[in-house]
Structure 1
Amino acid sequence: MEGPGAPGVPWKRHIVRQLRQRDRTQKALFLELVPAYNRLLEKAELLARISEKLQPEPNDATPATHQGPWEEESEPDSDQVPSPTTLRMKWQEEEEGLRLVCGEMAYQVVEKRAALGALESTLEERQSRLAALEARVAQLQEARAQQTRHLDVQRALNVAQRAAYEGLRAQAGLQEAALRRHEEEARDLLEWLVQRKARAAAERNLRNERHERAKQARMSLELKKAAKRTVSISESPKTVGDGIREMAETVTLAAEPLSLETEAGEKWKRPFSFKKRRGHSVGGAPEQRYQSIPVCVAVQPPTQVQDVLNAHLSEVNAVCFGPNSSLLATGGADRFIHLWNVVGGRLEANQTLEGAGGSITSVDFDPSGSQILAATYNQAAQLWKVGEAQSKETLSGHTDKVTAAKFKLTRHQAVTGSRDRTVKEWDLGRAYCSRTINVLSYCNDVVCGDHVIISGHNDQKIRFWDSRGPCCTQVIPVQGRVTSLNLSHDQLHLLSCSRDNTLKVIDLRVSNIRQVFRADGFKCGSDWTKAVFSPDRSYALAGSWDGALYVWDVDTGKLEGSLRGPHCIQVAERSLGWWLQDTCAWLPFLLLHRAGAEPVWPQCCSCLRRRHEERLRGDKGQWLLEPWKFHPWSRLVQRPSQYLGSSCFRRVD
């Protein structure tokens, strides 16, 4: 153990370092002062010795009484010995010179003292700075010690975290092994399930094939029996008060087989399967009730305005006809939905639906025509029941305005698209969102097929979503932001309108663009511009920015023409609509604009309709039969079962 005087003690080393540091910093200040002061002391000591020699002693009263050695030496030459007076004067002069020297040296001492004071003040200032720096060094040393302790703690924590990480890593390895094992088991189960499903499907296909062969044989037998007999109907017009002449007409029709079970075939054959009835027979069987069946024969573009009215207080944003084409719904920026009855090509006010939380952007009827779904600016879609003025349900969940809301093929499901980059499926029975599809771009419009949801987006893409799966099945790029989508009634073609001022027809069977429609002067003026097919998919229509309506022939791809009505503002339209009336080719066209006026454009039929009235008397009422004589160039829709609404048979009680 070292003693207090050992050189290795830290505080002694510290003192030595401080002294050396002080010597280095202060030595230069006194290098000139100390030698000067030493010289002054030497001169002062010399003057003191000289003064002592010059002062006479008391016993030197007479020079003879005391003879020094110099007197003995100077005896031979007594004439050259200076007198005491001379020596005294000489000594006085030397004393005066020494006094002058001492004064000068005293002045220099004063100056040196002043310089020494300045240097001492500088030394004190530097000592104070040194003390502050020493305090700062102490603080830094304390902080360093604290950081060292913190570093030690962090190292300990890192060691613990590393140990935990190693444990978690080992556990993750075990979990991954278990996951791989479960995935292999799932694949095995899936393969087993697929094989089982394939066997079940093969067995079901075999049973269906047997059943179909039996059904075809039975149908062939029935057709052969039905072809051997004919049914004739004698027609006599109803006698009315204005004196119409009686006339007769015989119509011979082959009886349709009653065993057809498909919906389209059953609904198509019923209006033309006439049975001979006895007009006044009491024991006859009750007549068959016919459902309401609309039939689209052919269409042509509209030619003139049929009706104009002020529908809303502000902009009209959306329009939609009901399934039976006798009811029209319009929605606008005034937050109201107006229902209109279509009577003889005119619009008559029916009802006003209230309770919308924002401007209406889209309106749609359900397949039964009993409910209306509307998209609004208040980040929600709302549901009304026809006949009730207030909203029935509010479908909230979007974070931005809802741009489109459409029913699916059932009245209990709906789809909405929004500018929050999501597409949502809704269960209307429970009023909750059953699925949310996140997309990378704004959704401007949606349409629904049997098992597919099609959405048009702001990133110039049309996306297809399988309603039975979670993923996007297909993406079709277009040149321009998609503003609207319209699905043909046969669900085989899709019409899109985009901001590159073109309309595109997409064949959904091969998933490619079949046709592109352009026209000089046609310009898509907004992100909500709508384009529609005619019911028989013969024409495509869209409104331009200047208020004109452009019509293209889908078959030839040529522009049929442009119609310029009362709308002459920049945004020509928000929504378009075709509608069916009395199963003939009446397809008026609605063009909406900012002023709120709503013109209806009628079109020219390509069929010559001739009405005959035949009274078929029964037990509970009368039926009026209204057949037509078709033009040779008329077209029939491929799926007449989709047009549910007005019928060629109307009940008169």
Structure 2
Amino acid sequence: METPSAGTDWRKHIIRQLQRRDRRQKLHFEDLIHSYNQLLMKSDIVQLWRDQHLPSASSESPDPQNVVNLKSKHRKELIKMYQANGELAQEVFDLSKQRKHREVELEVSQNRLVELKAKLSELEGERERLLAQFGELEKANSRLKEEYDSLQQLYRSQWEQLLKQEVEGTELIQSMIDIKAQAARDLNYRNEKPKRVKEKNLEKDLAIVSRVPLSLDAEVFHPVQKLSPEAATHQETKIFKPFRSFRSSSLSIPPHPRLFQSFKDLFRKRANTSFIGVDCNPMNFCSVARVPARVRFSLQEAHDGEVNAVKFSPNSKILATGGSDRKVKLWDIVGGMLQTVKTLEGSNDGVTSIEFDPSGLQLLAGSYDNTARLWSLKDCELKHTLSGHSAKVTAAKFKFYCREAVTGSHDRTIKVWDLSKAACVSSIALPSRCSDIVCSDHLIISGHFDEKVRLWDSRSAMKTDEIPLQGKVTSLDINSERTQLLSCSRDDLLKVVDLRMNETRQELRAEGFKCGSDWTKAIFSPDGSYAAVGSADGVLYVWDTLTGNLETSLVGQHRSSINAVSWSLSGEYVVSVDRSRLANLWTDC
């Protein structure tokens, strides 16, 4: 007999042993028991039949026919019982077989249970070990957290020191710039001192010359008639009598080297007072901008797709447009009509922005293909491709002195480019996507999708100020004096900001105005007196920037959102472009 294993119930063990003994002993006598049970059943059936149907010894002899019928009937019943008995026997056999199978499964399950209990004990031990390890890791983590907190505090203190040093460095740089500027002014003063002396001498000489009678010029430049000595004496006395003290010098008019040299210096000084790279055409300067009143000319299909950008040249004679058809088109304004001059190709995707340099000889355009391109307008050839951004370039502008360009992109960077080398010289990381930029000497101003306008010093790539708005910034513009900034945002509001004080001067609103896209452009008039922008419903709005009042709202042929507006520097024309490829030329009459 097997002994019960450790940890098992003794009752179950005894039952299992009895079941095994019963199976071993019953196996040898199962057929005999089955046959014996059948015999007993048959005997009971026969005895029952006799008791019911056979007459007793004292009774009369039965009818033979009845006996035959009874035998036939009982034979049929006996056959049915045999069949039922066989079916029951088969069922008993099947159940016995199932029982054996279940006993085997139970034994396997018992063995599996023992294995699982052993594994459970192992896992309990592993759990205890892991809990101990977890406690150690928590202690180590707490130590590391304390070290991290101390390092973070040290980092903050060092960062504050760094900011202070940067501020001090900026102040030192500014003081050095001021010192150098003062030194330059002193040097210019010393260099111009001889010129001032010459000018003083020239003024004295002019004063002397102004005393000479104009009639002497006729004697100098015209042939002298031959007179008699008496007539000559009489004429000479008549003419020069009031100027007797200067008579001898006036008559001879000797050459004055210092006087002639002063005139030469004056003319040379005036001849040299020109600005290299600046178009001196009088059309560049606008005294008073004229508010547009009607559409003078409408161009239904300016491009093969949506028109995204428009810009007048500095002389107000050439108009450039850029669209999603990857082209920049140049238009000539003749008799109040737009005529195609040239198409600049080379972009691999739609054009997002256009900018002329002050001379009007170069054009810079940003593109959806992550680049900006520079064309020469003398031969309309592509000069440089400025590549380096990882997302679309939303703005490309010339810096104030035109040797560098600045680009802003959706990759959250601003890059400054040396146009002579077509190389990036500096990059500014931004906290948000850039929608537009403007430049003013060493200042770069950027508008962002996080509803802020940021001011950057391009020399140190440091942020100098930040202006919060109430919506995504779609465009920026700066007036000609570089003192006021115009912003447009998705909250349907335009703001005029004074850059000298970084304060909002005017907020421009209008009932019905709705900013149509994330790249809708608003602009100043050339004299800075007005601001213009297009609405989502195709209406052109113009405000007075001094009073903040709506000057006019113009309904033209636009049937879709106006993307961009450009005001000619002469103040005579305004051009608006929209999503449906339409360009309108507006005038005041």
TM > 0.5 fold call: yes
Match of 1:494?
485
In the alignment, residue 386 of structure 1 is paired with which amino acid?
A: L
Structure 1, 507-516 or 595-604: larger mean CA deviation: 595-604
1:163-200: CA deviation from partner (whole Å, max 9, x where unpaired): xx99xx9xx99xx9xxx9xx99xx99x99999999799
Q: Which amino acid aligns with 2:491?
A: D
Change (3 A) 1:510 1:332: same
Correspondence list, 1:126-525, <5 A: 126-136=106-116, 205=182, 208-209=185-186, 212=189, 215=192, 219=196, 222=199, 258=266, 266=273, 292-293=281-282, 294-309=284-299, 310-388=301-379, 391-525=382-516
1:469 positional shift: 1.6
Q: Please point out which of 570, 574, 580 is paired with 2:560.
A: 570
In 2, Cα distance between equivalents of 1:354 and 1:195 = 47
Match of 1:593 in 2: 578
Q: How large is the RMSD of aligned CA atoms in angstroms?
A: 5.0
From the superposition, tell whether residues 397 and 223 of structure 1 become closer, same or farther in structure 2 (CA, over 3 Å): same
Matching residue's letter, 1:587: E
Structure 2 residue corresponding to 1:537, chosen from 528, 531, 534: 528
CA distance in 2, matches of 1:199, 1:525: 47
Measured in 1, the distance between the counterparts of 2:11 and 2:185 equals 113
Structure 2 vs 1, CA of residues 387 and 145 (structure 1 numbering), >3 Å: closer, same or farther?
Answer: farther
Cα shift at 1:482: 1.5
Contact 1:405 1:417 (C-alpha < 8 Å) held by counterparts:
yes
User: Aligned pair in 2 of structure 1 residues 368, 300: CA closer, same or farther (>3 Å)?
Assistant: closer
Amino acid at match of 1:303: A
Distance 1:224 1:344, change over 3 A: farther
How many Å apart are 1:498 and its aligned residue? 1.7
In terms of fraction of residues, the more helix-rich structure is: 2
Give the share of equivalent positions with the same residue, in percent: 40
Structure 1 position 534, deviation (Å): 1.3
Q: Structure 1 residue 350: deviation in Å?
A: 1.5
Where does residue 55 of structure 2 map in the other structure? none
CA gap of 1:120–1:207, structure 2 versus 1, over 3 A, is closer
Task: State the partner residue of 2:44.
Answer: none
Which secondary structure state, in structure 2, belongs to the residue aligned with residue 18 of structure 1?
coil
Counterpart CA distance in 2 for 1:580 and 1:200 is 33
Q: Which residue of 2 aligns with 1:635?
A: none
1:319 CA drift (Å): 0.9
Paired with 1:201 and 1:387, the residues of 2 have a C-alpha distance of 40
Q: Deviations 1:43-92 (Å, cap 9, x if unpaired)?
A: xxxxxxxxxxxxxxxxxxxxxxxxxxxxxxxxxxxxxxxxxxxxxxxxxx
> How far does residue 406 in structure 1 lie from its aligned partner after superposition?
1.3
What is aligned with 2:569? 580
Kept after mapping to 2: 8 A contact 1:321/1:577: yes
| Structure 2 CA distance for partners of 1:392 and 1:203, relative to 1, 3 Å | closer
What are the superposed Cα offsets for residues 467-509 of structure 1, whole Å, 9 maximum, x if unpaired?
0123221111122222111111110011111222222110000
**Could you tell me which residue of structure 1 aligns to residue 91 of structure 2?**
none
| Partner Cα distance (2:367, 2:169) in 1 | 49
* Map of 1:27 onto structure 2: 14
Any idea what the Cα deviations from partners look like across 1:351-387, whole Å, max 9, x if unmatched? 1111211111111122333322212222322232225
* Cα offsets for 1:419-465 (capped at 9, x unmatched): 33333323333333333333333322111111111111122211111
Q: Distance in 1 between matches of 2:433 and 2:318?
A: 32
Give, in angstroms, the shift of residue 146 of structure 1: 9.5
**Maintained 8 Å contact 1:589/1:602:** yes
- Aligned residues of 1:529 and 1:574 also touching (Cα < 8 A): yes
Change beyond 3 A, Cα 1:195–1:361? closer
In structure 2, the gaps of 5 or more residues are 22-94, 211-262
Structure number with higher relative contact order (C-alpha < 8 Å, ≥ 6 residues apart): 1
Contact 1:356 1:391 in 2 (8 A): no
User: What one-letter code is carried by the residue in structure 2 that aligns with 1:578?
Assistant: W
Q: 1:148 to 1:545 in 2, by over 3 A?
A: closer
- Given that residues 219 and 259 in structure 1 are in contact (C-alpha distance below 8 angstroms), is that contact kept between their aligned partners in structure 2? no
**Contact residue 4 and residue 13 of structure 2 kept, 8 A:** no
Kindly provide the amino acid, as one letter, of the partner of residue 550 in structure 2.
Answer: L
CA deviation digits over 1:531-579, x for unaligned, max 9? Answer: 1111111221122223222222222332222222222x230x2111122
Alignment check: 8 A CA contact 1:368 1:411 kept: no
